[in-house]
Amino acid sequence: MKGRVFVIGLGLIGGSLALCIKKEHKDAIIMGYDIHPEQARLGKMLGVIDEVADDIVEGAKTADLIIISAPVIETETIIQLLSEQSLNPEVIITDTGSTKSKIVANAASLKKKGYTFIGGHPMAGSHKSGVSAAKEILFENAFYLFTPEDHIENLKLERLKEWLKGTNAKFLTVTPDNHDYLTGIVSHFPHIIAASIVRQTERLAEDERLIPRLAAGGFRDITRIASSSPEMWKDILLHNREVLIELIDKWKEEMDWVKVLLEQENSEGILSYFQQAKHYRDGLPVREKGAIPAFYDLFVDVPDYPGVISEVTGYLAKENISITNIRILETREDEIYGVLVISFQTEEDRRRAERCIHTCSSYATSIGT
């Protein structure tokens, strides 16, 4: 497809979408704008975009597709600004926010001007940020949700999908309310739980000084998402407050039931509780990408001697396997082996790394799940 695409917000998501469009539509011209000018300049230098727009109004004037890749609160402001401009009458405007009901309602100002707005949410991410982290493969096999209103012509939705074909994502269409309920359950609410666990642990650690040391390893893993951007999650929670209040009430009921089981010393009930949780969790798709970015971890048992980390990473570098993070698990004093936890961007990278380490060394590896 030929045309001009304007990406507002050149972070990980906006930058990756720009790369996907450039890959699939060679004749398209990609313009970009970011509130931080250095991000836009870096995006052009890296070839993520073709042109830098000085401001949103300039970039939007002649665009055939406008992608708003900004925090949800800022997205509302940008939508209002666009509704006040004279744009291409055939323009399609979409966003990438993780809440939809309020954003789609806010887009009524665009509808009044005859412009097409289709809410979008690519359910993929990374533990890195910024345009320099953008990747063509970020959305491969991830779910990409669209929330068109009833008045949107199917032809418009299909045109948007064609623009985004290079993502190789799985496109799904849902209502804005259904989107917010689904993402509330599988993404927003888990972030609240992770943050609450960390906060409670912090309070208890005031009297138990060993807690921070014991909370390494697995505790850090199950609460990783509590390290997400506080500003972003403040906005998301306020946008999806009704759904989250309902889910918190249901969570209270769940915890009250666990409390009853403990008070009654109900051995069978407690066993059944964990069995049901295990059965459902073990049945979840392993290879699918979900609402929360997956952690592709490889655990490597290595001898405890100087230079062993550079030795392992050297094996991976020779195979051009990129890592996103590496850390050492604290080990007991009587152990001669340590454990490296190496994180990767994709499942394929993790599998390649496992084969590489097995081939090049005698180190044992295991997969993080």
Going by pLDDT thresholds of 50, 70 and 90, the confidence category of residue 366 is low
Average pLDDT over residues 301-317: 82
In a domain, 102, yes or no: yes
- CATH classification of the domain holding 218: 1.10.3660.10
The residue among 227, 254, 281 that closes a domain is 254
Same domain, 48 and 151: yes
CB 120 within 8 A of CB 147: yes
The pair phi, psi for residue 210, each rounded to 5°, is -80, -15
Number of independent structural domains in the chain: 3
- Give the pLDDT of residue 332: 46
In this predicted structure, what is the pLDDT of residue 83?
97
As a whole number of angstroms, the distance between CA 167 and CA 122 comes to: 9
Residue 333 is predicted with a pLDDT of: 47
Query: Encoding tokens for residue 363?
Result: 């180190």
> Does the pLDDT at position 234 exceed 90?
yes
Instruction: Tell which wins on pLDDT, 304 or 212.
Output: 212
Least confident of 14-23, 31-40, 99-108, 340-349: 340-349
| More confidently predicted of 294 and 332 | 294
Is residue 266 domain-resident? no
pLDDT over threshold 90, residue 229 = no
Amino acid at 340: L
Give the Cα separation of 339 and 221 in Å (integer).
15
Percent pLDDT > 70 in the chain is 92
Pairing of strands 170-173, 92-95: unpaired
d(CA 44, CA 53): 11
Average pLDDT over residues 222-249: 92
Kindly state whether residues 128 and 212 are assigned to the same domain.
no
Per-residue pLDDT, 288: 63
**Looking at residue 80, what is its pLDDT?**
97
Residue 252 has pLDDT above 90, yes or no: yes
What's the pLDDT score for residue 348? Answer: 80
Report the chain's mean pLDDT, rounded to a whole number: 89
Edge-first strand order for the sheet with 364-367 is: 325-329, 337-344, 296-303, 364-367
Residue 275 domain-assigned (yes or no): no
> Is the model's pLDDT at 349 over the cut of 90?
no
Which of 137, 158, 174 delimits the end of a domain? 174
Q: What is the pLDDT of residues 19-29, one digit of tens each?
A: 999 999 999 99
What is the C-alpha separation between 117 and 140, in angstroms, rounded?
Answer: 24
For residues 207-212, give the mean pLDDT: 88
Same-domain pairing of 333 and 199: no
315 is in which domain, residue-wise?
296-367
Q: Are residues 170 and 184 in the same domain?
A: no
Residue ranges of the alpha helices (H) in 240-319? 241-263, 267-282, 308-318
Confidence check: pLDDT of 270 > 90: yes
CATH code where residue 330 lies? 3.30.70.260
Q: Examine the fold and report which residue of 153, 174, 195 is the final residue of a domain before the chain moves on.
A: 174
Which has the minimum average pLDDT: 61-70, 218-227, 274-283? 218-227
pLDDT one-digit tens code per residue, 147-186: 999 999 999 999 999 999 999 999 999 999 999 999 999 9
- Domain assignment present for residue 119? The answer is yes
Q: Is 129 in contact with 11 (CB distance < 8 Å)?
A: yes
> Do 155 and 214 share a domain, yes or no?
no
What is the arithmetic mean of pLDDT over 292-306?
75
CATH number at residue 133: 3.40.50.720
The stretch 93-120 carries a mean pLDDT of 96
Percent of the chain with pLDDT strictly greater than 90: 64
- Read off the tokens for 162: 């064609």
Question: Can you tell me the distance from the alpha carbon of 147 to that of 119, in angstroms, rounded to the nearest whole number?
Answer: 5
Mean pLDDT for 41-69 is 95
In this structure, the answer to whether residues 44 and 169 fall within a common structural domain is: yes
Q: Judge if 98 and 7 occupy the same domain.
A: yes
